[in-house]
């Protein structure tokens, strides 16, 4: 099949985006969207859904963060025959982690369709249950190519009933060397099918696949006209998704803002973040599409006049919101495209004032950050999570600023009260000042220890923590990608608040043992101390992850130490420590 690729115009701006209910999706799918709290389709969804619903083959140029998974999952689920208990949809994904994410997304979108089942097929797990799930009539298979080919070699007819094929992150699949596997899979599938290909980039190899295996594909990509962003200082912080609330709380401690608007993607997130901030004493409200118009107006008025300082909103709910007091825009969730980023951050820097825009980026969204930087022609500087010391300094600075005018106030009416209190309490002015300080600072620590204790644990990110997508390659040939799904969590590690940098004179070593092997930091520590004959302080930070662990060891004499530990076993399994080199 060699065909021209026809291109549809770029997707429009946020203002032109419609509503899920106009896209022709199945009512059960619509109900599921409402349940997950999506308010409006993202640009890639607005464009892709009607094409897929109409039966077209499609090439979507979109990276993670644009909502691409729902862009294919929603229309495909709307079109399958739920009554037929046979495999109808195959989604191929480059990594186990992505396959699991896509499978979970399909499950949540199919939550209101009782008879639809989803199975994830990937390496590193037994094949039997996967095969059984397919045989039991799962309609949706989400697979990594390598493992699927293993299944096909035993059961060539496995894909004979497939009607929809999705290649997700096609460029990544090719980079990982899955080209041959893809050919095997194409050949095991009926010609009569609808094929959808998503890829962040469209190199010649991808176009080649499209020409060979897609029929008259429509091409969709998100608009990326150059945008101007004036007078707005921009910064981003890398963070794992499950640490966003903590990151927001810490950043708010150190950012000097008058009023702030925080953007998130779902209604639920507006409520969750607003509740977390309110619990810390911020004057905050949530704004989402469920909030009645009069209530919305009240919130905006309160933000204008200072009764509120923070509003956490979805893009839809924030539309038209124009409050000159806003000094900060906080992109807590990534916008879908650069245009909407520019649109969001334009809420600050109004009336000739300077503004500041903050952006949280999860490891998978790095690429989106690059796109934003390219389109806006500006760097979005990286900032680090403020540590306890920085937070303490900020608190002291604020308290000082707060007290300064009062100290200078010669008209202070409380002189008599001061005399009365010191007499009544039989204390010095200093004692009283300390008591008043204790009262003023109640609920907020003003010592380093105290601030440290207050902070929820956020694991340091390591430089290797590039993607949170788990294993690459699914046949065990490649090492697991560090920083898997819960890569940022530091279960059982020591000193989770220590800075990312290596301790002086130490290097990182890696073992393939992790929590899934029942290993905890104390086991590693014990084994290395005993068998290596080391002093306790010779071992630095230990990070335990699901499928591997990192241990900081002294660089000096490392080879000798690793030699000594050659046959060490932990929990019955070989430790096999190796020096770990970060790229």
**Residues forming the site for ligand AMP (CB under 6 A):** 38, 41-42, 45, 64-70, 265-266
Rounded CA separation 78/50 (Å)? 11
- CB 544 within 8 Å of CB 579: no
Nearer to ligand AMP, 222 or 308 (CB): 222
Other C-beta atoms closer than 10 Å to the C-beta of 518 total: 12
Cβ 486 to ligand AMP shortest distance, Å: 16
CA angle in degrees (0–180, nearest 5) for 566-578-558: 75
Nearer to ligand AMP, 65 or 338 (CB): 65
Close Cβ partners of 448 (under 8 Å, ≥ 6 residues apart) = 388, 389, 392
Q: Which two tokens stand for residue 522?
A: 């104390």
Cβ 487 to ligand AMP shortest distance, Å: 16
Cβ 9 to ligand AMP shortest distance, Å: 21
Nearer to ligand AMP, 109 or 178 (CB): 109
Nearest CA-CA partner of 139 in 164, 170, 168, 171: 164
Q: Which two tokens stand for residue 422?
A: 């010191």
Nearer to ligand AMP, 38 or 106 (CB): 38
**CA–CA distances in Å: residue 268 to residues 195, 239, 264, 265:** 33, 20, 9, 9
Cβ 172 to ligand AMP shortest distance, Å: 13
Nearest CA-CA partner of 74 in 114, 111, 30: 30
Nearer to ligand AMP, 56 or 68 (CB): 68
Place of tokens 């009416």: 413
Nearer to ligand AMP, 168 or 552 (CB): 168
Nearer to ligand AMP, 65 or 217 (CB): 65
Burial (0-12, 13-18, 19+ Cβ within 10 Å), 110: buried
Backbone angles phi, psi at 269, to 5 degrees: -65, -35
Cβ 29 to ligand AMP shortest distance, Å: 12
Cβ 41 to ligand AMP shortest distance, Å: 5
Nearer to ligand AMP, 152 or 237 (CB): 237
Cβ 315 to ligand AMP shortest distance, Å: 9
Rounded CA separation 342/345 (Å)? 5
- CB 142 within 8 Å of CB 102: yes
Cβ 266 to ligand AMP shortest distance, Å: 5
Nearer to ligand AMP, 33 or 451 (CB): 33
**CA–CA distances in Å: residue 212 to residues 3, 147, 173, 187:** 8, 23, 17, 12
Cβ 401 to ligand AMP shortest distance, Å: 38
- CB 63 within 8 Å of CB 71: no
Rounded CA separation 450/455 (Å)? 9
């Amino acid at each position: 099949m060699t065909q021209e690729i026809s291109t549809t115009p770029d997707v429009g701006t946020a203002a032109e985006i419609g509503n899920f209910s106009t896209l022709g999706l199945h009512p059960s799918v619509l109900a599921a969207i409402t349940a997950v709290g999506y308010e409006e389709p993202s640009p890639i969804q607005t464009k892709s859904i009607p094409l897929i619903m109409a039966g077209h083959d499609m090439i979507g140029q979109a990276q993670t963060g644009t909502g691409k998974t729902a862009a294919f999952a929603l229309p495909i689920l709307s079109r399958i025959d739920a009554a037929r208990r046979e495999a109808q949809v195959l989604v191929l994904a480059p990594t186990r982690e992505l396959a699991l994410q896509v499978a979970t997304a399909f499950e949540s979108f199919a939550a209101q369709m009782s008879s639809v089942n989803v199975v994830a097929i990937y390496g590193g797990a037994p094949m039997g249950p996967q095969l059984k799930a397919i045989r039991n009539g799962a309609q949706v298979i989400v697979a990594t190519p390598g493992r699927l080919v293993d299944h096909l070699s035993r059961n060539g007819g496995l894909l004979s009933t497939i009607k929809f094929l999705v290649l997700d992150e096609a460029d990544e699949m090719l980079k990982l060397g899955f080209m041959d596997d893809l050919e095997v899979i194409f050949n095991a599938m009926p010609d009569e099918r609808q094929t959808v290909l998503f890829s962040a980039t469209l190199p010649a190899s991808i176009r080649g696949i499209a020409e060979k295996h897609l029929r008259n594909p429509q091409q969709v990509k998100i608009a990326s006209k150059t945008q101007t962003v004036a007078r707005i200082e921009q910064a981003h912080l890398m963070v794992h998704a499950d640490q966003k609330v903590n990151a927001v709380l810490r950043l708010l401690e150190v950012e000097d803002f008058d009023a702030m608007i925080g953007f998130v993607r779902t209604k639920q997130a507006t409520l969750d973040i607003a509740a977390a901030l309110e619990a810390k004493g911020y004057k905050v409200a949530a704004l989402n599409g469920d909030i009645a118009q009069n209530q919305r107006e009240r919130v905006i008025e309160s933000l204008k006049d200072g009764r509120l300082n923070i509003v956490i909103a979805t893009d839809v709910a924030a539309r038209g919101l124009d409050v000159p007091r806003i000094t900060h825009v906080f992109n807590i969730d990534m916008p879908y495209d650069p245009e909407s980023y520019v649109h969001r951050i334009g809420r600050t820097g109004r009336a000739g004032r300077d503004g500041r825009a903050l952006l949280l980026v999860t490891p998978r969204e790095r690429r989106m950050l690059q796109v934003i930087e390219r389109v806006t022609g500006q760097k979005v500087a990286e900032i680090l999570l403020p540590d306890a010391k920085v937070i303490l300094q900020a608190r002291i600075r604020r308290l000082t600023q707060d007290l300064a005018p009062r100290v200078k106030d010669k008209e202070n009416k409380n002189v008599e009260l001061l005399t009365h209190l010191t007499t009544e309490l039989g204390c010095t002015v200093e004692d009283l000042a300390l008591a008043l300080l204790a009262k003023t600072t109640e609920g907020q620590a003003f010592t380093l220890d105290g601030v440290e204790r207050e902070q929820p644990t956020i694991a340091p990110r390591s430089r290797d923590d590039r993607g949170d997508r788990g294993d690459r390659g699914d046949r065990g040939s490649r090492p697991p990608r560090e920083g898997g799904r819960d890569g940022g969590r530091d279960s059982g590690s020591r000193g989770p608040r220590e800075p990312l940098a290596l301790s002086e004179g130490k290097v990182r070593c890696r073992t393939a043992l992790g929590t899934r092997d029942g290993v905890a930091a104390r086991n590693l520590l014990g084994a290395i101390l005993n068998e290596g004959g080391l002093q306790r302080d010779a071992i630095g930070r230990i990070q335990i992850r699901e499928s591997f662990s990192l241990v900081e060891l002294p660089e000096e004499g490392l080879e000798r130490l690793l030699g000594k530990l050659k046959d060490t076993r932990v929990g019955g399994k070989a430790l096999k420590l190796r020096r770990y080199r970060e790229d």
